[in-house]
Structure 1
Amino acid sequence: MKSTSLTVLLALALRTCASGACLESFDYIIIGAGTSGLVVANRLSENLSVTVAVIEPGTDQRNNSNVTSTEFGKGLDTPIDWNYASIRQPNAGNRTFAMHAGKAWGGTSTINGMTYIRGNVAEFDAWEKLGNPGWNWKSIFPYFKRSEKYTAPTKSQQAAGATYESRYHGFTGPLHVGYIPALKNGSFAPVVIKTWERLSIPHNPDLNSGSVRGFGMGPQTLDSELDIRYDSARAYLHPAEHRPNLKMFKGTGKRITWARGKSGDGGLVALGVEVINDGGEATLLRVEKEVVLSAGALRTPLVLEASGVGNSNILKSLGIETRINLPGVGENLVEQPSHFLMYSGDLPSAASAYHAYVTAADLFGANLSAVEEVTRASIPTWARAAADASGPGSLDVHAIEKVLQIQHDLLFKYNATAAEILVVIAPGNILASNYWALFPFSRGSVHLGLRSKLDEPVVDPRIFLADFDASTMVAAARVVEKFWSSEPMKTQASVTGPVVSGDFDLPGNATDAQWHAYLRNTGKQPPPFPATHPP
């Protein structure tokens, strides 16, 4: 047992049993059965000498057609989507934005776009620069391969644009990765490839190599033969659910309970987890070794705050006793601004989408040096803006500056990709590009609104708090515009447009000011057509 007095445990057990909810004890308790939590549950429970509990408010959705389908968007805005709403964003038309997150065994992997593309080598190496020795591309790449069960594309799928290099993939792991069987139409791929190459965006033979720049078709987390989504539950929980030492609990892991350690330093150790069922009744699960908090980006901070871990000023306003003053809890939320442009054209619908990853050099061209200099000089201003928006005592400005400086180096020194652009052929003669910034400098937050309501987070992504993010989106939009108006795409697809949604007027040859206004007032919307691949 982890430095917890027997007297405290016995007293707590008596109180709990008297209320009708007797304690169960586990070596490990995992809060959240999502993308990561189930991987941990699987690996820990391989050792049959330890017991593992997983707490999840969602349920088993393995037979839900919205989950098994490989068509993106089927699970959005359904009961398995938390569908949180952000607060109004003053820099983005004063609108609110949907923040999708999965509510099921498998978490957000049950509703996401399934795209399986690793980041740039420099991104993973940056983890080590931030103070995590041993966390870099070289050390984690073998685990990428170990987790993957890659199905190589067929000849017809390769004709449609799917390419790969076997040295970057694993073939025996639990997570199926491949391409949908419907990917057989090869008439569109050569047009896309030639158009991007004329814009100096090269074809990338494998987007999972750690060198991401260029154009290619990324695989997805799916079973190519059965044509079903391979979410975290299917990959990691279903094969392990027969283990007698692994137990799923339906409910919300509300808070971690604490006890003082025996070391004499006054430190806290986890005593257990309070679980709330659908009827509002509380049960306490006792932990012998560790609590693993894996509730996702939008819920993990809420559990910490409900447990007394966070900014003491925020906890006091919520009526929660501060157990550990940790001001960074709920801060540094990063949300990638997203947008799309649509055109009219004449091409057969494609069964998937094509990715193009572009760098700052691709976006800003001859202005790159000037943009780099202005961006570097703006880092202190953006750091101060993030700290001020979070309130007194929330963030260390110098720490934010360090993170933003490393991010600046990724973009301008190591040429990490700055934006992603999808090319989609949709029903109804719609040609579309969804695009987003990969490294926004804006920083937001997520906190408890009321101590009793973990299902109602206060989410403030602070979209476009840093003006560079809007400039990146404008530059990406111009690349999209150039793509659809370039040969051979323009002629072979009979491209006309763009087709602007809503009442906003975006003229041809729009100025930077017009692009900024358009993006700030219409961005982050889902495509108005049934997409077969993620935005």
Structure 2
Amino acid sequence: MSEREFDYIIVGAGSAGCVLADRLSADGRYRVLVLEAGPRDRYPWIHIPIGYGKTMFHKGVNWGYWTDPDPGIADRSMYWPRGKVLGGSSSINGLIYIRGQHEDFDDWARLGNPGWSWQDVLPYFRRSERQQRGADAYHGSEGGLAVSDVPERNELCEAFIAAGQEIGIPRNDDFNGADQEGVGYFQLTIRNGRRCSAAVAFLRPAMKRSNVQVETGALCERVLLEDGRAVGVRYRQDGRSVEARARGEVVLAAGAINTPQILELSGIGDPGLLGEHGIRVNQALPGVGRNLQDHLQARVILRCTRPITTNDDLKSLPRKMRIGLRYVLRRRGPLAVGINQAGGFARSRPDVERPDIQFHFGTLSSDTPGSAVHEFPGFTLSTCQLRPTSTGTVHLRSTDPAEHPSIQPNYLATEEDRRVAVDGVRLSRRLVAAPAMQPYVAGEYSPGPEVRDDDEAALLDFVRRDATTIFHPVGTCRMGSDREAVVDARLRVHGITGLRVADCSIMPRLVSGNTNAAAIMIGEKAADMIREDARQNQTGQTAAA
């Protein structure tokens, strides 16, 4: 093979892409190229768990997207951070390890995607995981991804968990076990007080192999197609265009925003949209860029009666020095854990079949996630609808791959989504009004006492004007066999040979929780399917010869 020819080309070194690089290169048979538009993960705050606040707006490691004005949220444009660095969003996220509910994956299978039921995907979750508690029927202990308990109990978190039980939500010490419902501490992707991103867990081992080449600062311009087959990619690096060829397959793992953009730039998508940009249609797939789903969170912010919050740690120089020393010397304290340490899953109403909202409990408060904390002692209880029924779009603005695409989330477009959002705020208020929480509540900062629980219009207006993304976009290249589907159940792009998608964009429906664990599972399963198909092709070629 020439220097620019590989067996597999992976576009995107995010959660799924890092897994793919590791698994496809492990036996040394295949030469693998990994393209990442961002830099290497050398920024120190990536690896310090609380550094989430430092990476949220950092242009060097973050795409920093903005949505189009959305009528569902009072015509606001919303900031959408996405990782632009080795590890992708796993290098800048909140570190929470949640898989979703078993029924989520059974639903995927029922929608015409054999091989994606809970029992089908559980082995892949277990394979990737290095569970601190050890292996059992639900968890693995031999994988690369560290999954750890919060090392120290927090007074406010303990009160939150007790309050949940007081209003009828059971305690749950394992949201990824037999049942997700309940309140408790999250497990985090942390190892010895440092972030365990997908780059740390999977890509670093792969990069030690001679058959793996990782190119950073490499922006994919398009997939190269010949006679209906993907034969390589063209990417921009250091101001010039470079072509790399693939003998086997091209795998797009660039995420729910970038992957549909790359497909459309390659002439794969809705013919009408492609025609507007003067792009020749190579494969008509109208579903590219549609079916966008995201978790929208409404945040109830409380003033605390005592200076025991992270706000107080960050506003006091002596306390900052103390927590800094604890981290440097012992890898303990606030710097060694994520911002949201506790949370839960509950039903917005008693007649709901399974939990449809998620809580994130943070021992700090700020006007927007990632911005400077408030001057007062504060904490935050946010709630999001787990399975929104509103869907949006991601589409090209121009043929320039460096120009951010148009993102229209279409939040709160359905009556169900509006109802669950309002009920979620009400349930949050019930929880913080429980006896266990009351000693810590000095007052409600947001939405504030003027927004009454019995005023549904005012509650909905608060959500429209204040709610933010919880950073879980999925679904824009969804899996299925109908006209709107982009990939089949083996993640092959319909109508194009040698091209797959393996990232959160393939989800038919959003999982019930944080998305990083599911993205890693998708990478694991995709790697198995790619290797299986390669073996079958080789067997067929041998038989034909």
TM-score by length of 1: 0.76
2:189 to 216, 221, 238: 221
The 8 Å contact of residues 31 and 292 in structure 1, kept in 2 or not, is answered as yes
The 8 Å contact of residues 73 and 112 in structure 1, kept in 2 or not, is answered as no
What's the counterpart of residue 235 of structure 1?
Answer: 201
1:179 offset after TM fit, Å?
3.3
What's the counterpart of residue 466 of structure 2?
Answer: 522
The 8 Å contact of residues 295 and 469 in structure 2, kept in 1 or not, is answered as no
1:190 offset after TM fit, Å?
4.5
Amino acid aligned to 2:219? T
User: Bigger shift: 204-213 or 328-337?
Assistant: 204-213
1:38 offset after TM fit, Å?
1.0
- Measured against aligned partners, the alpha-carbon deviations of 1:208-254 in whole angstroms (never above 9, x if no partner) come to 1152111111111110x2x1101111001111212111101231111
2:342 to 346, 350, 354: 354
Q: Measure the CA separation in 1 of the matches of 2:286 and 2:364.
A: 46
The 8 Å contact of residues 500 and 506 in structure 1, kept in 2 or not, is answered as no
Distance 1:31 1:526, change over 3 A: closer
The 8 Å contact of residues 506 and 518 in structure 1, kept in 2 or not, is answered as no
- Measured against aligned partners, the alpha-carbon deviations of 1:125-184 in whole angstroms (never above 9, x if no partner) come to 1111111112111122122122111223xxxxxxxxxxx995432222111111354x24
What's the counterpart of residue 204 of structure 1?
Answer: 172
The percent identity for this pair of structures is: 29
Q: How many residues align?
A: 431
- Measured against aligned partners, the alpha-carbon deviations of 1:313-360 in whole angstroms (never above 9, x if no partner) come to 00000110000000000000002111201112235337553112012x
- Measured against aligned partners, the alpha-carbon deviations of 1:270-295 in whole angstroms (never above 9, x if no partner) come to 1211111141x111111101000111
The 8 Å contact of residues 338 and 523 in structure 1, kept in 2 or not, is answered as yes
Amino acid aligned to 1:518? F
1:48 offset after TM fit, Å?
1.2
What's the counterpart of residue 296 of structure 1?
Answer: 255
User: Bigger shift: 451-460 or 468-477?
Assistant: 451-460
1:66 offset after TM fit, Å?
1.8
The 8 Å contact of residues 333 and 444 in structure 1, kept in 2 or not, is answered as yes
2:77 matched to 1:109? no
Say which one has the larger Rg.
1
1:448 offset after TM fit, Å?
0.9
1:434 to 370, 374, 382: 382
| Secondary structure of the structure 1 residue equivalent to 2:383 | strand
Q: Relative contact order: is structure 1 or structure 2 higher (C-alpha 8 Å, sep ≥ 6)?
A: 2
What's the counterpart of residue 66 of structure 1?
Answer: 45
Distance 1:49 1:525, change over 3 A: closer
2:57 matched to 1:77? yes
Q: Measure the CA separation in 2 of the matches of 1:128 and 1:432.
A: 36
| Secondary structure of the structure 1 residue equivalent to 2:71 | coil
1:488 to 416, 436, 443: 436
Q: Measure the CA separation in 2 of the matches of 1:27 and 1:343.
A: 54
- Measured against aligned partners, the alpha-carbon deviations of 1:3-27 in whole angstroms (never above 9, x if no partner) come to xxxxxxxxxxxxxxxxxxx971111
| Secondary structure of the structure 1 residue equivalent to 2:97 | coil
TM-score by length of 2: 0.75
What's the counterpart of residue 139 of structure 2?
Answer: 169
1:375-524 correspondence runs (5 A):
412=352, 415-426=353-364, 428-490=376-438, 492-493=439-440, 495-500=441-446, 506-524=450-468
2:236 matched to 1:276? yes
The 8 Å contact of residues 122 and 416 in structure 1, kept in 2 or not, is answered as no
| Secondary structure of the structure 2 residue equivalent to 1:73 | helix
1:312-331 correspondence runs (5 A):
312-331=271-290
Extract unaligned runs of 5+ from structure 2: 311-333, 335-339, 366-375, 472-513, 516-545
Distance 1:340 1:43, change over 3 A: same
What's the counterpart of residue 339 of structure 1?
Answer: 298
1:74 offset after TM fit, Å?
2.3
Aligned CA-pair RMSD: 2.3
2:18 matched to 1:48? no
